[in-house]
Structure 1
Amino acid sequence: MPNPSSADAEKRPRTHAEINEYRRRTLIEGALRSLAERGVAGTTVATISKEAGASRGLLGHYFANKDDVMVAALQHLFGRISESVRGSVDRMEGTATEKLLAVPVSLFAGATFTELNRTAFLALWHETRFNEKVRKANRQLYRDYIIRMDHMVRAAAQEQGVKIDAKQVALGFIALSDGLWLGLSIHDDVLTGEQAVDLCQDYLRRELRLV
């Protein structure tokens, strides 16, 4: 059985492409930690480099400016949360309706709704108001999100034999879950994750005529 050091060695990036990807990801994750702690205004080349344990020069090698770092951070965070939710739902056995109802469960689960994820997201959401590059990236990410939810709602509706506007229901779910995510990120003494899940599932059940 290999010892920890040899196991770690096997995981280390070896090729030029792997090294570049590793360094870039390390910088992005450093940016997310800085965003979560300091917000966009307090996040600088120095704070990102410090959080990433990298030199300031390395950041300039992979990103042209701070805007590009913010875009990459948003894409990475959105992708990480999406993969967590999708992976959890895909691994479960169940009907299309059960999988749809499992989405909010995974979305507000401890592994997804971490302090880092929600505080970094809060900072980046605010940045979409003022930063055209971040707003454009956010718009594309949400287009893809809407398409995925549309497909899931459509499959559940077909399974239940009901005719609904799947895209409209998907949009309603995203608006509700985003609002609850935002509310929990700011006022976790007013709302609980369990309540957020219940509210999302109640909405989906009503739209699918399950209640």
Structure 2
Amino acid sequence: MAATARRRDGLDAQERMLKEAMAAIAEDGLATLTMSALAKRLGTSGGHILYYFGNKDRLLLEALRWSESTLAEERRALLTRRVAAERKLDLFLQLYLPVGPRDPRWTLWIELWARTGSNEDLRAAQAEIDVGWQEDLASLLAKGVRQGRFAAGLDTGAVASQLLALLDGLSTRVVLGQHGADRDGALDMARAVAARLVERA
């Protein structure tokens, strides 16, 4: 009983750290997030955070996983909604795109992408997260085909990959604050491309 309580306390402590890390990234960007700065926000020590995560890369990866787990739940709920396939696809696009230039999830993605070349753990974790998005989008498209809402014979895996590549590019532009890039414009472009890719003859 006591061991279970300790594990629960440890998981709660980790979640508080991850939540605070995401909040810090949203407020001040990733460059200012250090173990000592995060420890100060939490009222603890840098060593305490290192006890749970070991290093900054691991902290960032676990923060991304924590954030993505929430989105995975939203995706699963979306896939079971009783709405038209076109509407479901639109909601998927909205869920994927960043909320704006300070989106902490997308800030983390961009930072960790740059580190995957030399870090096998990061590369494997990112691939695992990507597969979830790919499989869910392909499933959504396949259901739309079965319902006659999308083109018959649509290569759902290929179209899912194309859409996700487009969304990654649009999301990066939004998060980096490139001139003329904002969420509304990115969503409009994603909608237009998605409509062309799935349209019936």
TM-score, with length taken from structure 1: 0.76
Q: Which residue does the alignment assign to 1:8?
A: none
What is the RMSD of the two structures over their aligned residues, measured on CA atoms? 2.9
1:122 to 106, 110, 121: 110
Q: Which residue does the alignment assign to 1:206?
A: 196
Superposed, 1:43-62 pairs within 5 Å as 43-62=33-52
Give the distance between the partners of 1:86 and 1:184, measured in 2 at CA.
25
- 8 Å Cα contact 2:94/2:187 also seen in 1: yes
Give the distance between the partners of 1:35 and 1:118, measured in 2 at CA.
10
TM-score, with length taken from structure 2: 0.79
Unaligned 5+ residue runs, structure 2?
Answer: none
Give the distance between the partners of 2:88 and 2:101, measured in 1 at CA.
19
How many correspondences in the alignment?
A: 195
Give the distance between the partners of 2:53 and 2:152, measured in 1 at CA.
49
Q: Deviations over 1:178-207 (max 9, x none)?
A: 111101111354123222122222222212
Amino acid at match of 2:96: L
Amino acid at match of 1:39: L
- 8 Å Cα contact 2:64/2:105 also seen in 1: no
Greater than 4 Å deviation, 4+ residue runs? 33-36, 84-87
Q: Deviations over 1:42-65 (max 9, x none)?
A: 543212322333322321332233
Percent identity between matched residues is 19
Amino acid at match of 2:89: L
Unaligned 5+ residue runs, structure 1?
Answer: 1-13
Give the distance between the partners of 1:32 and 1:68, measured in 2 at CA.
14
1:154 to 142, 154, 174: 142
Q: Which moved more, 1:67-76 or 1:28-37?
A: 28-37
SS of corresponding position for 2:65: helix
